[in-house]
Amino acid sequence: MRIYLDHNATAPLAPAARAAMLEAASTLGNPSSIHGDGRAARALVEDARAAVARLCGGEVDEVVFTSGGTEACALGLVGLARLARDRGRPARILIPAIDHPATLGAAEALAREGFAIAHVRVDGAGRIDLDALAADAAAGGAVIAIAAANHELGTIQDVAAIAAIARAHGWLVHLDAVQAAGKVALAPLAAAVDALAISGHKLGGPAGVGAAWLRRGLAIEPLWPGGHQERGRRPGTENLVGIAGLGAAALAADPARFVEVAARAARFEAQLVALGATIRAQAAPRIGNTVNARFAGARGDAIVMALDLAEVSASTGAACTSGSIKPSAVLLAVGEAVADARAAVRFSLGADTTDAELDRVIELLPAIVARVRRHAPT
Ligand SMILES: Cc1ncc(COP(=O)(O)O)c(C=O)c1O
């Protein structure tokens, strides 16, 4: 049996999501049709919307279904930025360089529209420096974009404090909650910000579907022209099967289960340290499932490949382009040297990960690390 420790990349489909998707796959209608078949499809979409609204602590008319976390981030961030500019705010975006390409890419697109993009200072664990943020924010601007939890380090931001700084200087706030959803309570986070993004496949739903929560009263424009679906904010016939799966996953999400995961991860971290590893961001507040380890002098990609041969799925955390793995942009942005950044292995646990699975990894690692240090030094 393979051991799967790459939940931050994609998590297994929850049984309730699978069942909801099978039911939706047998539902014929287009949710926009007014006949009975259409109304049956509409009911599935609206049930899912209610579940996502509940997860976010929001109202149903604040939820917009999208094709995933990436589109939800783009819709929220681009939408807020254009709205703020139209309201006369200075065209500036503040975003940490450690954030996901989903939001950094949206910021780059805004730069092509004339927005100035500035990177918020973070410490070595990826925590936003609140004093630096307050100084940057004082000049005024459109949107401060942050991630609730970092995808590689697991580091959690102080969303309430960041949002308070933003408000004091008239900025809107976008929150990428893709990695946090299902692992921490979202409602208190949503209450502090103006828009929030989640993704199906990180919380037990399918990939290719996500949702943006957009605070009521903010007139967010759609990203492209077309029909009037999603109250005019996201044109295109709804992905009924995906939305039903996301709704069921949102309903089943239980952050309480991640308290246990955090305890399991802490025990695993202690075992890794005993093997000579350094754990990144160990002292920072983190989502409990993410363990980013460095074995000095051993390339992370080589360790990940060796673990794969031993039936263990882990990750370096960094993107793989044309077969070659670049040093992680996140680790470079928190100040690591290239050689250190190349020595990264991210283990991301799920609610069903067992101690026995983690013990097996600990058993495998000494020989793998020794071999990699000899053949693939950083
Ligand atoms: C923090 C974060 N934001 C956004 C995304 C994008 O989500 P999706 O894969 O659904 O497009 C991811 C996916 O890895 C992520 O980790």
365 Cβ closer than 6 Å to some ligand 1 atom: no
pLDDT in tens, 162-175: 999 999 999 999 99
> 145 alpha carbon to ligand 1 midpoint, in Å?
14
**Looking at the DSSP assignment, which residues form a beta bridge with residue 173?**
144
- Indicate if 215 and 267 belong to the same structural domain: no
Q: Is the CB of 102 under 6 A from ligand 1?
A: yes
- Give the number of domains in the chain: 2
- Measure the CA–CA gap between 50 and 42, rounded to whole angstroms: 12
Residues 118 and 262 in one domain: no
Predicted confidence at residue 376, as pLDDT, reads 87
Handedness of CA 177, 182, 185, 186 (dihedral sign): positive
pLDDT (tens digit per residue) in 325-340: 789 999 999 999 999 9
- Supply the residue whose CA is at minimum distance from atom 5 of ligand 1: 69
- Kindly report the CATH number assigned to the domain that includes residue 348: 3.90.1150.10
Once rounded to an integer, what is the mean pLDDT over residues 99-128? 98
Mean per-residue pLDDT of the chain: 96
Active site residues: 320
How big, in percent rounded to 5, are the helix, strand and coil portions of the chain? 45, 15, 40
Domain boundary among 219, 235, 252: 252
Query: Of 330, 243, 220, 234, which is closest to residue 281 (Cα–Cα)?
Result: 330
Distance 10 CA to ligand 1 centre (A): 9
Residue 48: CATH number of its domain: 3.40.640.10
pLDDT number for residue 6: 97
% pLDDT > 90, the chain: 96
Domain boundary among 252, 268, 302: 252
Residue 68, ligand 1, Cβ within 6 A:
yes
The answer to whether the CB of 179 is under 6 A from ligand 1 is: yes
Is residue 226 scored above 80 in pLDDT? yes
- CB-facing half-sphere around the CA of 235: CA atoms within 13 A: 8
Q: Report which ligand 1 atom has the smallest distance to the Cα of 150.
A: 1
Shared domain check, 262 and 241: no
pLDDT confidence tier of residue 367, bands split at 50, 70 and 90: very high
Distance, CA of 170 to CA of 165 (rounded, Å): 9
Give the model's pLDDT for residue 318: 73
Q: Residue 323: what pLDDT? A: 59
In ligand 1, the atom with minimum distance to the C-alpha of 68 is: 10
Task: Compute the average pLDDT of residues 79-105.
Answer: 98
- Show which of 252, 275, 305 is a domain's final residue: 252
For 282-328, write each residue's pLDDT tens digit: 999 999 999 999 999 999 999 999 999 999 999 998 766 555 678 99
- For the Cβ of 73 lying below 6 angstroms from any atom of ligand 1, the answer is yes
Q: Is the CB of 5 under 6 A from ligand 1?
A: no
Pick the residue whose CA is nearest to atom 16 on ligand 1. 151
**Is 261's C-beta closer than 6 angstroms to any atom of ligand 1?**
no
pTM above 0.85, yes or no: yes
CA distances to 149, 293, 332 from 125, in Å: 12, 13, 12
Are 242 and 333 part of one and the same domain?
Answer: no
Nearest atom of ligand 1 to the alpha carbon of 199: 10
What mean pLDDT do residues 112-120 have? 98
Q: Are residues 245 and 310 in the same domain?
A: no
Residue 247 lies in domain: 15-252
Ligand 1 center from residue 211 Cα (angstroms):
12
Q: Specify whether 266 is located in the same domain as 129.
A: no
